[in-house]
Every structure is written in structure tokens, then in C-alpha cells.
Structure 1
Amino acid sequence: MNSIVSFKIDLDCFKEYSKYAFKRVSDKKSQKGAFLINFVIWFFAVIFFMLTIQSFTNEKFSIDWSSAAFGAILPLIFVVNFVFNMIKLQRQMQPKEDGIMLGEKTVEISEEGIRETQTLTQSFYSWACVESVEENKGDLYLFLDNTLALIIPKTAFSSVKEKEEFRELIGKYT
């Protein structure tokens, strides 16, 4: 039994997929744990550094707020530069409107595999390369690798029943 769906992938749909794929490959629990560990290590390193300097100077330690503010400028510049570069990188990584990620597509499901057809390309994927089928906000993602997936937006289906039948057909082969 074959199933054919046609749809259009727009930039918003691609951005949702990108966020989902990033979350999929990054383990949020380990990131939060790593941040907390780094914070605690730096906190104790600063205290150790301050106590070491105080023991060599034999003076009571006091904070000069103007020096502290001046010392905070360089890290602040680095953080602002990092955020600016990340935003710039995200913009540069967006696919072209007339490229192969966005635009009108047709996906055909058959016993042999998945055929994706677009104005510029035609691709065939055997069922062996489909790692998982995942859903995000109604969109289906057929993951072929860690971050590469065929995006099938919820707008490709006229009803929830049609989407479930499509998903069941894919489940039959994966």
C-alpha cells in the first residue's frame, strides 16, 4: 500500500524542526548539571584566590567597587559578543527559500522506502536508514540520522485520522 502526501515547508516550520533537533541531540539534564558544577568550582576558586592574596598581604580585604565594575567589563564584552555571534550564526544557517529544504515537496511511502520529490531534487531512502519517527507540535519528523530528518508538517494532512493512517503505515515498515 502506497501513500502520497504533498506539502510546503516554510521557514517557521524549519525553525521548529531545528529547535527540536537541537534538543534531541543535547541532553538538558547534563547541561544544567555541568553549569552548576562549573559555577560551584569557580565560586570556590575565587574564594581561594582572595584568601591566598589576603594571607600574603596581611591586610583586611575590601572591595573597591569601581575596580570591580571595571573588571566586569571584559567578561561582559565577551558575553555580548558571544550572543551576537550566535544570533548571526543562526541567521546564516537558515536555508534558502529556493533551496532544497524549503518549498513544495511530495513524499511517497512504499514497501521499498520513502521517495521525496521536489522541484530541484528527488531522493530515495530505504527503511533501514529511518532511525525514528517523532512528532512535535503536530509535525512529523522521520529521522534518518541524529539531526537529519524528513519534515512532514501538520498541514500535509486534511485530518487527524489521515495523519494517524500515514503514521501507522510508516510504523508498518520501520
Structure 2
Amino acid sequence: MKITTNITRSDYWDYNKYALFNIPKLRNRFMISNISVPVVLTILLLLFKLPFVFSLCWGIFGGGLACVFSYLNMKKRVMSYPDSKEGILGERTVEINEIGIHQLNSVSQSSYKWSGVRSVEQDEKYIFIFVDSIMAYIIPKRSFGSEGESLEFFRQAQRYLDNCSS
């Protein structure tokens, strides 16, 4: 099965959000930072002999602001990519067959055998074919003619992966 798609900044941002909240390694790191920043800030304020309630409130508030700032900074960085960030954004052709997954864009081509693929996942807008713990081929479902075609592509990729591991 072959599909031609166009990856936009929004697609790449959506992938980063998906990875942040669904990949255990990234999710754990994000959660640890969300917990540790308010705790450290509270402890620092207590070291200045400020009242406990005051320190706790400002620790939580300041830590929350730091977490929001970090998230928004990541979004700003991704959304500031030029429309033609070669290799990441732009038009590409993705093909899956019994051998593996193949991608071709204006500056590169890549292939992975199914034995090198970690997982095939999807959400409401995308199909992700993970070839590493955090690297995936992003395939927007809007690239297909219908929801049935995107479902067939997803199921076929899962079959190829399952056949490889059995």
C-alpha cells in the first residue's frame, strides 16, 4: 500500500504531543519535571524562612507556570519551523509492503524492515509507525480517501509487523 502525504508544522506538533503523553520514557520525564519543580521551589522558599503555606502556594504556582512555559516553549519551537523544513516537513510518499516501510521525500529516502519496527499505533488523526522509542513515521489520516482506507492501511501495517514477529 502506498500513500502520498504532506506533513505540516501542526502535524509535527501533534506528533510531539502524542509522544510526550504516550511514550513512557518521555511521559515519565515530563511528569518528574512537573513534580520536581514545585517541590524544589517550595523548599527554596522555606530555606528563606518564609511561612509554610506561603512557600507551598508559591511553589505550586511557580512550578505550574514553569511547566506551562516549558510546554509552550516546545510548541513555539516546533511551530516556528519553516514550511519547507526539509526531511521533517513537506510532501512524502510512504509505502508499506511485506518487506517493510519505505519513505521518500524531496531530500531523502528511508526504509525499515518490519523486524526494525517497534510498533504501529494510531489516534483519531494519525497513524504512527515507530521505528525507535521516540522516532516514528507520521501518516495523517486525512491523506486517505476515506476512513476505511486509513483503517485498512493501519491494519495491514499491524499484520505485516505481527507476521514478522511470529
TM-score by length of 2: 0.69
Matches within 5 A, 1:54-65: none
Q: More deviation in 148-157 or 31-40?
A: 31-40
Give how far 1:89 is off: 8.7
Quote the residue 1:130 is aligned against.
117
> RMSD over aligned Cα, in angstroms?
3.7
2:88 matches 1:87:
no
Aligned residues: 144
Change (3 A) 1:114 1:29: closer
1:95–1:101: 8 Å Cα contact kept in structure 2? no
1:58 counterpart residue number: none
Q: Could you give the per-residue CA deviations for residues 65-85 of structure 1, whole angstroms, max 9, x where no partner exists?
A: xxxxxxx9xxx8xx78x948x
The residue aligned with 2:28 is 27
User: Is 24-33 or 132-141 further displaced after alignment?
Assistant: 24-33
d(CA) in 1 for partners of 2:136, 2:5: 15
Q: SS at 1:100's partner residue?
A: coil
Work out the percentage of aligned pairs sharing the same amino acid.
28
- 1:94 offset after TM fit, Å? 5.2
- Gapped regions of structure 1 (runs ≥ 5): 52-60, 62-71
8 Å Cα contact 1:133-1:143 kept in structure 2? yes
Are the structure 2 counterparts of residues 134 and 41 from structure 1 closer, same or farther at C-alpha, using a change threshold of 3 Å?
same
Structure ranking higher on relative contact order (CA contacts 8 Å, 6+ apart) = 1
Please give the per-residue CA displacement for 1:57-105, whole angstroms capped at 9, x wherever unaligned.
Answer: xxxx9xxxxxxxxxx9xxx8xx78x948x72894278544321111111
Task: Name the SS of the counterpart of 2:10 in structure 1.
Answer: helix
Deviation at 1:158, TM superposition (A): 1.1
CA deviation map 1:115-145 (0-9, x unaligned): 1011211111111121111213321111111
Match of 1:167 in 2: 154
> Any gaps of 5 or more consecutive residues in structure 2?
52-57, 162-166
Match of residue 14 from structure 2: 16
Q: Is residue 142 from structure 1 mapped to residue 129 from structure 2 by the alignment?
A: yes
Q: Counterpart in 1 of 2:139?
A: 152
